Chains A and B, each alone.
Chain A
């Protein structure tokens, strides 16, 4: 089944404790992206990647890092999480530069 897989689905952590949210797609898509979704603010793009080793900042990159060492994987790293990073996070991928994204199931992160 073609899909984008994120892990974990739910995570509660403490301020300052580094964490990684994994994302993997099995569709051989070149384009991948991370979004966060907050009430009243909608979906906002954090980072995107156009191919292996090629990434760029979205609208809200502060406090996040990404890497794209393999085509299928695009992990999101929070090196020192803070409570304002409590959010619902989605990973997404696309075959085309101007194509629609397929979204993962989401990761609900709470930072206390």
Chain B
């Protein structure tokens, strides 16, 4: 299995701040990258996908991809207490069929 690494956290940020979540992966041939949000006791929810180097913005979320460094990040601007959750990084293997997940980073946004 190809590795997907994330800091487990918890990452604590004050309300209104920028939360920065990071992920590294081992499969150099990977082409598809995803960020999921998972609230406690709930299923993962897809929030961002990114396929090309650079930044992709969607509302308060920005995904950043650097394939040369094998690094994916997620920025959450104007963090809200409702953003408190575990964020999972997922990477498609080069073959395209296996989607490997990191163990997730727990984010706590404090009022």
A interface residues, Cβ below 8 angstroms from B: 31, 33, 35, 40-45, 48, 50, 56, 58-59, 90, 97-106
Residue on A nearest B103 in the bound complex, by CB: A42
Among residues 12 to 36 in chain B, which have CB atoms less than 8 Å away from a CB atom of chain A?
A: 31-32, 34, 36
A90→B44 contact, CB < 8 A: yes
Given A42-B103, A98-B31, A98-B92: A103 and B44 interface contact (C-beta under 8 Å): yes
B interface residues, Cβ below 8 angstroms from A: 1, 31-32, 34, 36, 42-46, 49, 51, 88, 90, 92, 96-104
Residues of the A chain whose Cβ atoms lie less than 8 Å from the Cβ of B104: 42
Per DSSP, chain B at the interface is loop
Given A59-B1, A99-B49: A43 and B101 interface contact (C-beta under 8 Å): yes
Instruction: Name the distance in Å between B32's Cβ and chain A's nearest Cβ.
Output: 4
Residues of the A chain whose Cβ atoms lie less than 8 Å from the Cβ of B31: 98
A97→B99 contact, CB < 8 A: no
- Select A97's contact among B49, B97, B100, B102, beta carbons within 8 Å: B97
Cα A100 to Cα B96 with chains together (Å): 11
Instruction: Name the distance in Å between A6's Cβ and chain B's nearest Cβ.
Output: 9
Residues of the B chain whose Cβ atoms lie less than 8 Å from the Cβ of A106: 42-43
Instruction: Name the distance in Å between A35's Cβ and chain B's nearest Cβ.
Output: 8
Residue on A nearest B86 in the bound complex, by CB: A42
